[in-house]
Amino acid sequence: MATKEDEQGGRNGAVQADGRLKSEKYFQEKDLWGFIHRSFTKSMGYTEEDLRKPVIGICNTFSELNKCHSHFNELVDYVKRGVWQAGGVPMEFPTISIGEPYIKPTSMLLRNLMAMDTEEMMRAHPIDGVVLLGGCDKTVPAQLMAAASVNIPAIVLTGGPMLNGRKNGRSLGACTDCYGFTLEHKAGNITDEELASAENSVCRSDGHCQVMGTASTMASIAEALGMALPGCAAIPAPDSRRRHMAERTGKMIVELVRRDIRPREIMTEAALENAITVTMASGGSTNAIIHLVALSQRLGRKLPLEVFDAISSRTPFILNLRPSGKYQMEEYFEAGGVPALMKELESHLHLDCLTVTGGTVRDNLRGAETLDRDVIRTAAEPLGSQGGVVVLRGNLAPNGSLIKQTAVSEHLKRHTGRAVVFESPADMEARIDDPELDVDENSVLVLKNAGPKGAPAMPEIGQIPIPKKLLVQGVRDMVRISDARISGTSYGALIVHAAPEAAVGGNLALVQDGDEIELDIAARRLELKVSDAELAERRKRWQAPQSHYDRGYGLLFHERVLQADLGCDFDFLLPKELREELLGAGGE
């Protein structure tokens, strides 16, 4: 929750309690520190005149270890141009950069660390406003969480999706087709040479994944929240209009500083509901639920999973994008992007929410229109009557689990099968393709100890592989359950985020081979067909796994991370009042 100091300007705000910008207190005081600040800054080429202008921080997350951000140094140049044109002084600074394909055991381990890094850089320096350059899956949520906590004027600029991959006249998308090609290779249907050709065809430009995966989902959320300029999310990374957007963003942050418009005025409860609505209508990533819960809690508000399910139930699914549909982000941009989708959803949105344009959602949508009805459907003629992600409950996940219903094979939306259990990711890797594995196409694959504490850090391994002996028989989907996450590019009957996780004694830890499990998406039910008495007996024999870490950041993560239904943030990063409400008076 905002403190009185924050509300009045305080140490976090652009405009201080005395009416001055934060940078003015650094550069215009005639004391020792004022002298030092001016002297050191002038040595970098800034002039006396520059130091009288608003200082705009540009958070550049470029890294050669982050493919999705490989073009950010060029984007920064255009942001700086916009800042200078609007009368501000741009000052670029780095934070850690989380590249989804590279970080092991999972990028989720570092989202909170990136949020802390970004927060402290914003808080500690003489900047009056900040442009947050993100794109890859965990970068945008980390930056939004930091902006919520620091609450100085901020605007998000995402890097944009890749152009469509192309092979033999077919459009390809990362990483939906990564799964498809590797499955067919495993099944013996494509050769090593064909696999290598596909590798060279999927990613053919700068940018993040070009399907409605987590990166595209979070870019859309930033725009739907009002924290990015209209149209920002879908412009392909190599398109010249991405540069134009960067320049406009640089201009707008100076205006936000002048008007003292801050993130907490924009990211209201109503704005978060808009973001959820857009996510559900888009068939967005299940990861968005964890990130939005964490963001809401940084703003001092609980966000129960029931809110997501209620919004999903009343939101039509209207965006025909993979992995839940036919097209990709390039076609989405050409069809009108997020503004066009939001225009179709006007009756489902809170239109009076403030945005970084200085106007409302209603203002921003006045000129929006859909240019391709096969990509963006009307709310009256949707692809589906409900949104993409739904919440499942039952004795197997009493605190909730998630499934992207728009990506599930129709015959598995109501299913009962016997459990085939893997005790850990290592156990799964060792046995999944064993010819002697007692499994058939009706089995339910269960993966334990892949959650926030158990895996560690909840990696995207919830798309449990189809056993090879079933693949060669033509099986391409099965019900799979875990306390892990999945990539937004994943597809299939994947139940994830089961809470509480197995590593802390959730009922998932008690499942045994042969147990019957019932899934009923329409009823929102996930049930282990084992009596309470039997589960109590099994619990007596259960032992918690050891932590993967005995020191350092990994140990901090293990000891302080919250469960999936509470956003996987660190408990000590929540505002004090909310921490006490959620976790008890001791905040533990």
pLDDT score for 11: 40
**143 and 267 part of one domain:** yes
Does the residue 102 lie in any domain? yes
pLDDT score for 469: 95
Cis peptide bond upstream of 141, omega within 30: no
Q: Count CB neighbours of 398 within 10 A.
A: 15
Query: Tokens representing 481?
Result: 């359950």
pLDDT score for 15: 67
* Backbone dihedral region for residue 75 (phi beyond 0: left; psi -120 to 50: alpha; all else: beta): alpha
Beta-bridged to residue 58, according to DSSP, are: 92, 131
pLDDT score for 20: 86
**274 and 141 part of one domain:** yes
**476 and 421 part of one domain:** yes
Distance between CA atoms of 7 and 355, rounded to whole angstroms?
Answer: 19
Query: Tokens representing 76?
Result: 């920064």
Distance between CA atoms of 586 and 579, rounded to whole angstroms?
Answer: 9
- Domain termination site, one of 200, 226, 245: 200
**285 and 243 part of one domain:** yes
Query: Chain centroid to CA 469: how far?
Result: 34
Kind and range of the H or E run holding 158: strand 154-158
Distance between CA atoms of 308 and 322, rounded to whole angstroms?
Answer: 21
pLDDT score for 17: 64
Beta-bridged to residue 495, according to DSSP, are: 403, 481
CA neighbor of 57 nearest in space, from 16, 101, 21: 21
Does the residue 13 lie in any domain? no
> What is the signed CA dihedral for 269, 274, 276, 282, rounded to 10 degrees?
-170
**340 and 254 part of one domain:** yes
**35 and 62 part of one domain:** no
> What is the signed CA dihedral for 500, 504, 505, 506, rounded to 10 degrees?
10
**269 and 355 part of one domain:** yes
Whether 443 contacts 493, CB under 8 Å: no
Whether 482 contacts 131, CB under 8 Å: no
Phi, psi values for residue 198, rounded to 5°: -65, -40
Whether 66 contacts 159, CB under 8 Å: no
**178 and 323 part of one domain:** no
Please state the length of the chain: 588
Does the residue 33 lie in any domain? yes
Does the residue 384 lie in any domain? no
Q: Which residues of the chain have pLDDT under 50?
A: 1-12, 586-588
Whether 551 contacts 559, CB under 8 Å: no
Distance between CA atoms of 349 and 339, rounded to whole angstroms?
Answer: 12
254-269 per-position pLDDT tens digit: 999 999 999 999 999 9
Kind and range of the H or E run holding 578: helix 576-583
**157 and 176 part of one domain:** no
**CATH number where 426 lies:** 3.50.30.80
**291 and 399 part of one domain:** no
Does the residue 397 lie in any domain? yes
pLDDT score for 2: 39
**132 and 194 part of one domain:** no
Does the residue 87 lie in any domain? yes
Does the residue 4 lie in any domain? no
324-369 per-position pLDDT tens digit: 999 999 999 999 999 999 999 999 999 999 999 999 999 999 999 9
Strands 525-528 and 444-447: unpaired
**353 and 232 part of one domain:** yes
- Structural domain boundaries, residue 458: 389-541
Q: Is the dihedral of CA 560, 563, 569, 572 positive or negative?
A: negative
